[in-house]
């Protein structure tokens, strides 16, 4: 079996970088994309061009997305797996976050990821011979259970969840395209480290230290190392990529499992409590 070709977004740091390193160690081929591809020079020094292609890609830029897929096709002829991973966030209450910053979060986490998804499906269907491929959209447990103090990040992940589910339902099964939504919990990557040292945004009305957003902010600022080992996390995602029939949702991390179960329980309780309010809503005959 020939080595698979992966296109991975957001490989500068975090899960994207760890995934790129793991896939390369497995002997497979990586198209590693980053806003500043020079940060990948150390990998280029270790792996031949026949195994690693680095490409400049800001997922906020539609043309750069198209160009990245085109370069992957020119270099390797096909793409087997797309790890749609690029994303970021910053701390701040809903009222505190400047609108331009909130829109920037959505430009990357939603629109960027959505446009990478669209191009991945097109490539899998029209370029791969035979058609087929695996799209791994990296969401977050906050795409299920929102985090106070990370409202716009959470909202962007909710939006990614919605479009990924719709896309998966729209795809013609004859195209042989699989879609999985990865919902990781906390992993100790550069994201949490930066959040711990960033001032973020605050609103004077939210000054009580017991408010959830301030508890969350204080936890970040404490400097305590938290979260799971990202190298073990990407190994689980890699294992998922080998399944012939991967699940649509893949909740990863004990904190994520607990959060998703708590959210499901809360929804079920609300539905059950007010279920009878949906009785008698039909038109009178």
Please check whether residue 72 is in contact with residue 49, taking contact to mean a CB–CB distance below 8 angstroms: no
Please indicate whether residue 274 is annotated as part of the active site. Answer: no
Q: How far apart are the first and last CA of the chain?
A: 65
Name the region of 225 (left: φ>0; alpha: ψ -120 to 50; beta: rest): beta
Here the tokens at position 45 are 């020094």
* Nearest Cα residue to 14 out of 102, 87, 77, 112: 87
Please indicate whether residue 139 is annotated as part of the active site. Answer: yes
Please indicate whether residue 12 is annotated as part of the active site. Answer: no
Q: Is 32 helix (H, G, I), strand (E, B) or coil?
A: strand
Please check whether residue 255 is in contact with residue 263, taking contact to mean a CB–CB distance below 8 angstroms: no
DSSP state letters, 36-49:
SGGGGHHHHHHS-T
Q: Which candidate in 71, 140, 156, 157 is catalytic?
A: 157
Considering only CA atoms, give the Rg of the chain.
20
Q: Which candidate in 47, 153, 206, 238 is catalytic?
A: 153
Q: Which candidate in 12, 47, 117, 139 is catalytic?
A: 139
Question: What span, in angstroms and rounded, lies between the C-alpha atoms of 254 and 66?
Answer: 36
Catalytically annotated residues? 139, 153, 157
């Amino acid at each position: 079996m020939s080595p698979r070709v992966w296109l991975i977004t957001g490989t500068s740091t975090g899960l994207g970088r760890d995934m790129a390193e793991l896939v390369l160690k497995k002997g497979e081929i990586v198209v590693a994309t980053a806003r500043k591809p020079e940060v990948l020079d150390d990998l280029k020094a270790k792996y031949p061009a026949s195994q690693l292609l680095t490409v400049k890609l800001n997922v906020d830029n539609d043309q750069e997305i198209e160009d990245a897929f085109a370069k992957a096709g020119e270099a390797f002829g096909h793409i087997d797996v797309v790890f749609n991973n690029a994303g970021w966030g910053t701390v701040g209450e809903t009222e505190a976050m400047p609108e331009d910053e909130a829109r920037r979060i959505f430009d990357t986490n939603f629109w960027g990821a959505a446009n990478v998804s669209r191009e991945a499906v097109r490539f899998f269907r029209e370029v791969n011979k035979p058609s087929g491929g695996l799209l791994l959209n990296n969401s977050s447990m906050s795409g299920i259970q929102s985090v106070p103090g990370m409202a716009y990040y959470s909202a962007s992940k909710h939006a990614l969840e919605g479009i990924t589910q719709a896309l998966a339902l729209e795809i013609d099964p004859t195209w042989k395209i699989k879609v999985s939504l990865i919902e990781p919990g906390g992993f100790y990557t550069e994201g949490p480290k930066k959040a711990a040292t960033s001032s973020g945004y605050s609103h004077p009305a939210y000054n009580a230290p017991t408010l959830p957003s301030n508890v969350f902010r204080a936890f970040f600022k404490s400097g305590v190392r938290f979260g799971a080992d990202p190298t073990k996390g990407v190994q689980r995602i890699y294992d998922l990529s080998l399944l012939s029939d991967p699940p649509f949702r893949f909740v990863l991390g004990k904190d994520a499992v607990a959060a998703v179960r708590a959210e499901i329980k809360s929804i079920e309780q609300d539905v059950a409590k007010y279920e009878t309010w949906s009785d008698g809503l039909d038109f009178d005959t």
